[in-house]
A and B are shown apart, each in its own frame.
Chain A
Amino acid sequence: MKTILVYVFYLLVIVAGLFAGGVSALWMSGLLGKSTISSFATVNVNNWTTDPSIGAASADAYTRARIARHGLLALAKEEAIYFARSTDDDGEPLLEACSYELKGGPQEALWWSITLYDNDSRLPMNDDNRLSIDATLVGNTDEWSAIISSDQPDAPFWLSSRSAGQFDLTLRLYQPEPGVIEDSRQRLFAPSVQKVDCEGSP
Chain B
Amino acid sequence: MKQLFIATLLLVLSFVIGHITALIAVPSVIMDTAMDRMQERGLKHHQFTLSPRTTPQTQTVVRPSPDLAYSVCLFELSGNDALRIQTGTYDRYTSVSFFDDRTNNFATVRVSSDEGADIVLLAPGRARLGTGVFEGQQIEAPSQRGLILIRRLAPTENDYARVVEASAADRCATLERSSDGEGSA
**Which A residues form the contact surface with B (CB < 8 A)?**
6, 9-10, 13-26, 29, 31, 37, 55-57, 59, 61-62, 64-65, 67-76, 78-79, 110-111, 113, 115, 117, 120-127, 129, 131-132, 134, 136-137, 170, 172, 174-175
Contact = CB atoms under 8 A, between A and B. Distances in A.
Nearest to B23: A61
Interface string B21-54: 1111011001100100000000000000000001
Interface in B102-131: 102-106, 108, 110
Contacts of B64: 123
B144 interface: no
A68 B153 CA distance: 23
Given A122-B59, A127-B56, A72 B14 contact: no
B108 A75 contact: yes
Contacts of A124: 56
B63 A70 contact: yes
Given A22-B19, A75-B105, A136-B153, 17 more contacts: A13-B14, A14-B10, A14-B11, A17-B14, A21-B14, A21-B20, A57-B104, A61-B23, A68-B27, A70-B62, A76-B108, A110-B93, A120-B62, A122-B62, A123-B54, A131-B56, A174-B95
B169 interface: no
B106 A79 contact: no
Interface residues of B, number: 51
Interface string B137-149: 0000010000101
Contacts of A65: 23, 26-27
B57 A22 contact: no
Contacts of A117: 63
A174 B93 contact: yes
Contacts of B59: 122-123
B133 interface: no
Nearest to A11: B10
A26 B66 contact: no
Contacts of A56: 104-105
Interface centre among B12, B55, B66 (most CB of A within 10 A): B66
B19 A57 contact: no
A13 B6 CA distance: 10
A123 B55 contact: yes
Contacts of A137: 155
Contacts, number: 169
A117 B26 CA distance: 23
A57 B107 CA distance: 10
Given A64-B103, A76-B108, A122-B62, A17 B15 contact: yes
Contacts of A18: 14-15, 17-18, 21
A176 to B, nearest CB: 12
Nearest to A62: B23
16 contacts: A15-B14, A16-B11, A19-B18, A21-B20, A25-B20, A65-B23, A67-B103, A72-B103, A73-B147, A110-B93, A121-B63, A122-B59, A124-B56, A131-B56, A132-B155, A174-B153
Contacts of B147: 73
A170 B105 contact: no
A16 to B, nearest CB: 7
A174 B155 CA distance: 14
B72 to A, nearest CB: 9
Contacts of B160: none
B67 interface: yes
B111 to A, nearest CB: 11
B99 A73 contact: yes
